[in-house]
């Protein structure tokens, strides 16, 4: 505590710089003083920027934006359910945003819902059930409970069903034996002529 008061009294010391020394101190004391000063700086709360202002800044100038001619502007930002560059679905500008992603662990694939819980950038990841009906109900309850974002429920369910559909392997279509025999007969007749 005495070191902190010493830092406040002397104006010679510049926090975070090792080139400025207080008169009559050793390097060991100076290192301790710098660490104390840095922890005091880290304890200050960050200022919160309103969502509307953040959207006006990010709308046209973001590294996630994908522009092409004659199609809507898309974005690849995290926690954006549709991929459209709009305020409603923006994962950067909204304080409460949600995103679905597919997570692979070895051969197993699962769907994970990520919810951004506020301006602190903390997030909650929840696994979603693979049964289509139960998973859709789970998404609805997670997104609408405690007034999170009810408007995102239809988009989340649509993306969830598309993710489940992508898990299924494509079926190999077998031709009917009669059709195969007929094609072979036509090919043999064409070779004879």
- DSSP code per residue over 109-172: EEEEEEEE-STT--EEEEEE-SSHHHHHHHHHHHHHGGGS-GGGHHHHHHHHHHHHHHHSPPPP
Residue ranges per structural domain of the chain: 2-42, 51-167
Q: What pLDDT is attached to residue 121?
A: 59
pLDDT in tens, 27-65: 544 444 444 444 444 445 456 788 889 899 889 988 999
Q: What pLDDT is attached to residue 171?
A: 83
pLDDT in tens, 57-98: 889 988 999 999 999 999 999 989 999 999 999 988 888 889
Residue 165: which pLDDT band, with cuts at 50, 70 and 90?
Answer: very high
Q: β-pairing, 74-75 with 97-105?
A: unpaired
CATH T-level fold of 51-167: Enolase-like; domain 1 (3.30.390)
Both tokens of 192, joined, read: 């004879």
Q: What's the average model confidence in pLDDT over 160-170?
A: 90
On whether the CB atoms of residues 104 and 112 are closer than 8 A, the answer is: no
Q: What's the average model confidence in pLDDT over 143-152?
A: 83
Count CA atoms within 13 Å of residue 174 on its CB side.
Answer: 3
Going by C-alpha positions, the residue among 97, 75, 88 that lies closest to residue 148 is: 97
Mean of the per-residue pLDDT values for the chain?
Answer: 78
Full DSSP string of 18-37: SS---TT--HHHHHHHHHHH
């Amino acid at each position: 505590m005495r070191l902190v008061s010493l830092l406040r009294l002397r104006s010679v010391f510049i926090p975070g710089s090792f080139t400025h020394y207080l008169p009559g101190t050793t390097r060991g004391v100076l290192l301790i003083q710098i660490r104390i000063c840095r922890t005091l700086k880290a304890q200050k709360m960050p200022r919160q920027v309103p969502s509307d202002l953040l959207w006006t800044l990010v709308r046209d100038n973001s590294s996630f934006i994908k522009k092409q001619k004659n199609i809507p502007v898309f974005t690849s930002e995290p926690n954006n359910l549709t991929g459209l560059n709009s305020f409603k679905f923006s994962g950067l500008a909204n304080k409460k945003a949600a995103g679905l992603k597919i997570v692979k662990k070895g051969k197993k694939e699962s769907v994970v819902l990520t919810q951004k819980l506020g301006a602190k950038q903390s997030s909650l990841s929840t696994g979603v059930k693979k049964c289509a009906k139960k998973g859709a109900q789970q998404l609805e309850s997670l997104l609408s409970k405690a007034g999170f974002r009810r408007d995102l429920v239809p988009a989340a369910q649509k993306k969830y069903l598309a993710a489940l559909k992508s898990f299924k392997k494509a079926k190999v279509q077998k031709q009917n034996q009669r059709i195969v025999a007929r094609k072979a007969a036509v090919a043999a007749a064409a070779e004879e002529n």
